[in-house]
Amino acid sequence: MPAPGLAQEVRTTGRLALPLVIGHVSAGLVGFVDNIIAGHHGTATLAAVTTGTALMWLPLMVPIGTLVALAASVSHHDGAGEHARIGPLFRQALWLAAALGVAMFAFLSAAPYALAPMGIAPEIVPGARDFLLGIRWGLPAMAMFLCMRNLSEGMHWTLPTMVLGFGGLLLLAPLGYGLAFGRWGLPALGAGGLGIASAVTMWVQMLLFLAYLARARKFAALGLFARFEPPRWSQIAPLLRTGLPIGVTVLLEGGLFIATALLIARLGAVPAAAHQIAINLSAICFMVPMGLAEATTVRVGHALGRRDGAGVLRAVRAGYAIVLCTQGLGALVLALFHNQIAAIYTNDMAVAGLAGSLLVLAAIFQFPDGIQVMSAGALRGLGDTRVPMLLAAVSYWGIGMPLGAGLGLGLGYGPRGMWVGLTIGLTVASILMGLRLRYSSRRLAGLPAR
């Protein structure tokens, strides 16, 4: 039976995480909506969205991870009572987000020219190109949204993430359907229409979040928009020192899945479409431990700001307790209903059959995936980001990718072989991250680092 302090921490972390989880799941459902529409538009369209989404997430991983440093810093200042430092920090983080957004736009503008040289199947290339050229317009807004979200979450206020996540879903579903199929007087643009609809949704979400922060009483005392400040390297540099290793770590893990999608796209439309179904469901499941990990980052950072070593340990243990329960439930659903879930996406029986078998493998890696992301989240709260980056590089690219490519392409096991490699890489990462967290948390709590 858990100690009273741990039980209270589980409840506190759960309350903080619930809106985050719901908001992230709603973001995952955006991909679900895109894939449902694309799958019923045609197997080639679904495969095109698969390839385009993979190339979109490649640059997006860096700001997702880098800007998490803002949440940890804001939480630390909040715990230490240093509220006057939060507004200036946020304004500099906005400049950083804007620069990252421009860089992502440039990357996606050039990415279509790499599709054919990468060996992507010819029937996939036109739709993937149109999707990328459409969605690229939304990435600067997405980077700014991430900055605002991390500020809000660092202040223990996670409701906007949930509300705006579902609001975006309600906009994307009809707009994406209309632009893909040409309904209600809109042009029929297929995969390109889904890219444009996603970009519009990103801008609407960002502008609504901006208006909320400018008017909400909860943030008025912070003076977030009290003055205009030019970029100041002295304040941006610490964010980059903490955040860039996080961004690289997220890129290393996400890049493993992205590279897998691009390699499978070389095999043709059916394997690419089946992989997209399985990876989309896995991504939705991943949003739960991701939200819990972000809540744990905030709780650990807050305890660290109070110089409360015992509180750090309670936050870590509470995060693990919750994530083990949620991942067990996700694994059970995927294992029992993999065929029924796959059939929702497509009428193509070949695609649905292969996707169902991949979902069984997805059920297996729910536990290591949840453990590694929870460990990484707690380490971010402790400010420990460089060693986890190296551990991720070894796990994902030194072990997972070579095994997956060898089994999937070298030995001819196709998508199933690639997914076995993913599972092994995630398992190694969960072990190494867990050991690193044990060392760091016990050291900061004043306990023997055994």
Task: Grade residue 207 by pLDDT with cuts at 50, 70 and 90.
Answer: very high
Tell me, yes or no, whether 251 lies in a domain. Answer: yes
Number of domains within the chain: 1
Closest CA to 251 of 395, 112, 357, 389: 389
At residue 200, the pLDDT reads 92
The pLDDT of residue 431 is above 70: yes
432 falls within a domain: yes
**Which pLDDT belongs to residue 447?**
44
Distance CA 356, CA 340 (A): 8
Q: Residue written as tokens 């969605």?
A: 135
Q: Which residues contact 308 (CB under 8 A, 6 or more apart)?
A: none
- The residue with greater pLDDT, 447 or 368, is 368
How far is it, in rounded angstroms, from Cα 63 to Cα 307?
29
Query: Per-residue pLDDT tens for 5-22?
Result: 778 888 878 887 777 777
The reported pLDDT for the residue numbered 215 is 84
What pLDDT score does 229 carry? Answer: 79
CA pseudo-torsion sign 332, 336, 339, 345: negative
Q: What's the pLDDT at 28? A: 65
Q: Give rounded-to-5 percent helix, strand, coil for the chain.
A: 85, 0, 15
Give residue 2's pLDDT.
45
Phi-psi region of 379 (alpha: psi -120 to 50; beta: other; left: phi over 0): alpha
Task: Render pLDDT for 231-253 as a digit per residue (tens, 0 to 9).
Answer: 788 778 877 777 777 777 777 76
CA distances from 252 to 3, 57, 118, 319 (A): 37, 12, 20, 23
Domain that holds residue 424: 4-444
Q: What is the pLDDT of residues 362-400, one digit of tens each?
A: 888 888 888 988 988 888 778 777 788 888 888 888 898
What is the pLDDT at residue 208?
Answer: 92
58-82 mean pLDDT:
74
Among residues 125, 208, 119, 196, which one has the least CA distance to residue 160? 208
Please tell me the distance from the alpha carbon of residue 392 to that of residue 240, in angstroms, as a whole number: 19
Matching residue, tokens 């206020």: 157
Task: Outline where 111-232 has alpha helix (H).
Answer: 125-135, 139-154, 159-181, 191-215
Residue 405 has pLDDT above 90, yes or no: no
Residue 43 lies in a domain: yes
> Is 157 part of any domain?
yes
Structural domain contains residue 449:
no
153 or 209, which is more confident? 209
**Are 165 and 27 a contacting pair, CB within 8 Å?**
yes
Using the predicted structure, report yes or no on whether residue 39 has a pLDDT greater than 80.
no
- Please check whether residue 411 is in contact with residue 352, taking contact to mean a CB–CB distance below 8 angstroms: no
The string of DSSP letters for 312-363 reads HHHHHHHHHHHHHHHHHHHHHHHHHHHHHHHHHH-S-HHHHHHHHHHHHHHH
Indicate whether 450 belongs to any domain.
no
pLDDT-derived band at 450, boundaries 50, 70, 90: very low
pTM across the whole model: 0.69
Q: What is the pLDDT of residues 126-172, one digit of tens each?
A: 888 888 888 889 989 988 998 888 888 777 776 787 788 778 878 88
